[in-house]
Chain A
Amino acid sequence: MILLYPTIVLLICMGLYTVLTQTNMIKIIIGISIVESSIILLLGAMAYFPGAAAPVLDHPFELVADPLPQALGLTAIVINASTTAIMLALVIKLHNRYDTLNIHEIKKLRG
């Protein structure tokens, strides 16, 4: 548990660094996905208490995991998946037009 939050921060930083330094469009998308996933990991981590049961109450429990972050995480996953799909569609389209995945070359073509 003690390493969980540093790991999440590390993942966020890695993803952002990827976005800032890479020139390949697919790698940029991977970077964004890493950041988004790490936030969902954070949501999952928030819901967890040591010894807590899953929030499906078919019989009484002492301690139940927080169901709200899980529901929020589900919503966030769906939204992130939709954004990623649009990004990939744009990449396919740009690749068809320019025959390259490098953003600098695309900018260069436009002048």
Chain B
Amino acid sequence: MINQIETLYQDTDYDLYFGPAHPGSGNFGVKLKIDGEIVTNARADPGYLHRGFEKLMEYRTPIQNAVISDRLCVLEPLNWNLIHAEAVDELMGIDIPERAKYIRVIMAELSRIQSHIIWFGVFSKGTGFDTGFKIAFGYRDYILDLFELITGGRVYPAGYICPGGVRRDFPNSAKDKILKVLEKIDEMIRLEKLENPALKARAKGVGILGLKEALRLGATGPVLRASGMKTDVRKDDTYEIYDRFDFNIPVREEGDCYARYLIGIDEMIESIKIIKQALNEIPKGEVIVSSLKKPKLSVKIPSGEVYIRNEVARGEAGIYMVSDGSDKPYRVKVRGPDFLHMIPVLEYLLRGTQIADVPAVYWSLNICPADMDR
């Protein structure tokens, strides 16, 4: 009996389920096999938020699809509204008015700033810097008040960017309020640069992703830019009117968690530049094509197929839409950036690290489980 207890004490491997209903992990679970302090194997367990979006969209018309497309990823709803509206516009061959193009870019960049603020907040909380979490969610409320004034809802804008333009025009006081909110965001970025030494010690040199590995595993967006590749869909494969604005692309070479955190802050500064240039040049006029001003019960989509690529806050997104001439799409395929970041890249990075580094690696990849499961 004493021999049995002694042999059990020498066995040091065990399993740990870093689970789905836990405040430290979001809506996603990872099964870890641990030996002492080192993680030897990691296996992702998706499917907690699977709603079958691709087939749900085959039962509804384009204007009804625009209303539910902001639930594809809750943390950046206006960017997904934009990519769905672009796919339907190109299939129907519509040319949208000039004022609507500028409004679409302003709303998409505001949504990108709001998503990066959440990234900064939860990354600080995961590594122990609690003040950063409170600063981030306090300043995010100013942007949500702007959304409430313009679109009619704080988190879900209910298809504000719809096929043919946008659903409502800006109210008269919107332009001054946007400039005031951008000053407050500048103040927040200056506060973020006073760093905590504990955050630096936990994030530097941890979770290094080299350039060759990143290209083989399919990473895109800020994760690829932190490993040394200078690429951005807004400049390489331009869509909407991004070629009229002047902005830079931040790149870093190291590839660890600290480099990804710094790229998030630099991208917010570039988005503020784009919004200020767009507010100076916006013309007057209509905001939606006149044949789609009142929603209709059925509008025919000509047959054809199209593949649209966009840069959302988390990486490269894609929609492949096929239509056979009726009023509902025949097949919609959604490619989310988190499908590649959460399963191959996370399993590669977690192998060989210590248990105490798991939250720092996990939150630095900017994951959103709704985008992966769809």
Check if A and B associate. Answer: no
A interface, CB within 8 angstroms of B: none
